[in-house]
Amino acid sequence: MRRKRILFVDLDYFYAQVEEVINPSLRGKPVAVCVFSGRNEDSGAVATSNYEARKLGIKAGIPIAMAKRLSNDVILLPMRKDLYKGISDKIMGYLSTLGTTEVASIDEAYVDLGEITLEEAFKLAKEVKERIFKDHGLKVSIGVASNKVFAKVACEMGKPDGLVVLDDEKEEKLRSEIEVSEIPGIGPVLREKLNELGVNKLGDMKNLDEYKLRKVLGEAKAQYLISLANGTYDEPVKVRQRKHQGRYVTLKRNTRDPNEIKPYLFRAVDEAFAKASGALPMEIHVVAIMEDIDIVSRSRTFKHPISKDEAYNTCYKLLLDILREDKRQVRRIGATLGKLKKVDGSLDKFFDFKLDGNSV
């Protein structure tokens, strides 16, 4: 039967897998890609790890020092975000040739495949896996279902190197059997609230007073779960355009000296502009993370897109505003570009990341 099908792709242990592709001698060994904060040798956290490292308990979010304690053999690599982003952009570009594509994160996307049969969906999904492997050497997991949420859930079920296509029967089963904690967008807090209402599985919602549910979860989340449970959820796949781009850097030491902070701030501005790929901002925020991790920010809006030189000046003034109004030391500083406008002559085409590690 033809019906609307949505394909969800998630690249397996993405950053670490890219490192394995570039350096195959890493394969089979525990590898963690880390964000070194630069304060001292071990400060920072694991961004992601391959499955060998995960078996040892080394996974995203743990401190580098803990990763070292868990294993003497783990290979810790610095995160090379631009490299991963370059590969991600190419994969997303390919996916968007298959149908409307919503890039959900650096390693996830939804593709609207239109009205097709189960067999066609399976064949397409297999082709996507083969294509990405052939072009980039990367394994991915794919889920296909009639809506975005179940496509993501299906993908999760098959990880890693998975391919799960849900038919109507399996979706119906999910609508009653899936644990609420496994539903995307339902975090521990909401799960707790649902459990208190006696809802452990999505199907348990049937016995619940909708009014009560809305009161406890809020309108949006209640509607989300109700529509998932009764099969009317049909959020469309939409092309997303990034409207803002931000970068943060950690200072070598806490300080309130604007001259000492300036080079870090300008580096954040440089990197934010680089990530915006040629688009120019009409809004700028300077964000200071203070010594006690409290966050203070100041922003300015313009009537027209501004150049990087104007951005430097504005950011420095905003930094001075922050330092005038707040007496604490600054630990981290960042710049966020808002209301990005594409201007012609994007620099994108000058950057072409190759899998052998050379960027040209």
**What are the residue numbers of the active site?**
108
- Indicate the residue among 102 and 107 with the shorter CB distance to Ca ion: 107
**Taking CB under 5 A as the criterion, which residues in 11-70 touch Ca ion?**
11, 14
Among ligand DGT, Ca ion, none, what binds residue 112 when CB lies within 5 to 8 Å by partner kind?
none
- Indicate the residue among 11 and 288 with the shorter CB distance to ligand DGT: 11
For residue 105, the minimal CB distance to Ca ion (Å) is 6
Phi and psi angles of residue 262, each rounded to the nearest 5 degrees, phi first: -50, -50
Using the contact rule CB under 5 A, the part of the chain among 2-10, 64-72, 264-272, 288-296 near Ca ion is 2-10
Query: Exactly one of 107, 110, 174, 280 binds Ca ion (CB under 5 A); which one?
Result: 107
For residue 103, the minimal CB distance to ligand DGT (Å) is 13
- Indicate the residue among 13 and 110 with the shorter CB distance to ligand DGT: 13
Among ligand DGT, Ca ion, none, what binds residue 15 when CB lies within 5 to 8 Å by partner kind?
ligand DGT
For residue 131, the minimal CB distance to ligand DGT (Å) is 19
Distance CA 61, CA 349 (A): 34
- Indicate the residue among 86 and 281 with the shorter CB distance to ligand DGT: 86
Distance CA 124, CA 130 (A): 10
For residue 62, the minimal CB distance to ligand DGT (Å) is 9
Among ligand DGT, Ca ion, none, what binds residue 22 when CB lies within 5 to 8 Å by partner kind?
none
Query: Exactly one of 108, 154, 164, 319 binds Ca ion (CB under 5 A); which one?
Result: 108
Closest residue by Cα to residue 87 from 27, 22, 26: 22
Among Ca ion, ligand DGT, none, what binds residue 104 when CB lies within 5 to 8 Å by partner kind?
none
Closest residue by Cα to residue 255 from 323, 174, 343: 323
Residues in CB range of 330: below 8 A, 6 or more apart: 251, 254, 255, 256, 261, 288, 289, 290, 291, 322, 323
**102 belongs to the binding site for Ca ion (CB under 5 A):** no
Q: Please state the separation of Cα 40 from the chain's center in Å.
A: 27
Paired with 102 in beta bridges are: 110
Distance CA 295, CA 287 (A): 7
Using the contact rule CB under 5 A, the part of the chain among 24-32, 75-83, 104-112, 275-283 near Ca ion is 104-112
- Indicate the residue among 158 and 231 with the shorter CB distance to ligand DGT: 158
Strand 283-290's sheet: what is its strand order? 245-255, 330-338, 283-290, 295-301
**Taking CB under 5 A as the criterion, which residues in 236-265 touch Ca ion?**
none
Distance CA 119, CA 262 (A): 58
Integer angstrom CA distances of residue 78 from 52, 211, 227: 18, 50, 43
- Indicate the residue among 105 and 232 with the shorter CB distance to ligand DGT: 105
**Taking CB under 5 A as the criterion, which residues in 113-152 touch Ca ion?**
none
Structure tokens at 352: 């072409």
Cis ω on the peptide bond leading into residue 184 (within 30° of 0)?
Answer: no
Phi and psi angles of residue 205, each rounded to the nearest 5 degrees, phi first: -65, -25
Q: Which H or E element spans position 144? A: strand 140-145
**10 belongs to the binding site for Ca ion (CB under 5 A):** yes
Instruction: By CB under 6 A, name the binding residues for ligand DGT.
Output: 10-15, 35, 47-48, 60-61, 106-107, 159-160
Among ligand DGT, Ca ion, none, what binds residue 345 when CB lies within 5 to 8 Å by partner kind?
none
Which residues sit at the interface with Ca ion, rule CB under 5 A? 10-11, 14, 107-108
